[in-house]
Amino acid sequence: MIMENNDWITMVENMNEIRLFSRLLIRRVTKEHEISTQHLDLLSQLIINNGGMTPLRLSKAMCVSKTIISRLIEGLSQAGYVVKKQDSHDKRSYSIFITEAGEKKVDEILKFYLGPIYNLRRKLGDKDFSELMYFIEMANKKIGEEGELE
């Protein structure tokens, strides 16, 4: 039984520290920004990849189902933040491109959303911040390998 070993108390404290760190660092995109974090992620993927992406490629990049991607594309398209362009060789396929309005929306939100991580890097310094990020990435990979993070 897990509670027979007092190590569980330390692990609960560690979990609470991780939860607090996350809560303090991550600003949720609010209703005033008019789009969800998933919408922001999709728009960011389009900017990062510097051009059009197919729904399948977006699905893989964001680790979500194609159904979710379709729903996100529809909402962003209606808002004028993305456009669909049909593949000239395969009429069944299309790519998604961000519009100028979409780029402006991302810029507006990222100023708010990324403020805490820039502040953390400033407070820790580049070396400690890089080390922290290295360990977070390593932990994410290890957890992902075990299939516990989905």
Q: What's the pTM value of the predicted model, to 2 decimals?
A: 0.64
Co-location of 32 and 50 in the same domain: yes
CA 76, CA 42: separation in Å to the nearest integer?
9
Q: Are residues 78 and 35 in the same domain?
A: yes
Contacts 24+ apart (CB under 8 A), 114-120: 115/27, 116/24, 116/25, 116/26, 116/27, 117/25, 120/25
Question: Residue 31's pLDDT band (boundaries 50, 70, 90)?
Answer: low
Amino acid identity for residue 69 in this structure: I
**For residue 90, pLDDT beyond 90:** no
Residues 123 and 101 in one domain: no
Q: Is the domain of 77 the same as that of 42?
A: yes
Residue recorded with tokens 């108390």: 9
For the cut 90, the answer to whether the pLDDT of residue 74 exceeds it is: yes
Per-residue pLDDT, 149: 47
Which residues form the domain of 62? 27-113
Domain-located, residue 120 = yes
Q: How far, in Å, CA of 81 to CA of 22, rounded?
A: 29
Within this chain, do residues 54 and 68 fall inside the same structural domain, yes or no?
Answer: yes
Same domain, 125 and 148: yes
Q: Which tokens hold the place of 80?
A: 């004028």
Tell me the H-state helices in the chain: 7-25, 37-48, 55-62, 66-78, 100-113, 115-124, 126-145
Neighbours of 96 (CB within 10 A): 25
Same domain, 103 and 123: no
Is residue 83 in a domain? Answer: yes
Same domain for 68 and 109: yes
Examine the pLDDT at 136 and tell me if it is beyond 90.
Answer: yes
Round to whole Å and give the CA distance between 75 and 95: 16
88, 104: one domain: yes
- Whether residue 148 sits in one domain with residue 99: no
- Cβ-count burial of 35 within 10 angstroms (0-12 exposed, 13-18 middle, 19+ buried)? buried
- Count of structural domains within the chain: 2
Q: Looking at the structure, tell me whether residues 108 and 50 fall in a common domain.
A: yes
Q: What is the mean pLDDT of residues 12-20?
A: 92
**Domain-embedded: residue 134:** yes
Question: Is 120 found in the same domain as 109?
Answer: no
Residue at 13 is within a domain: no
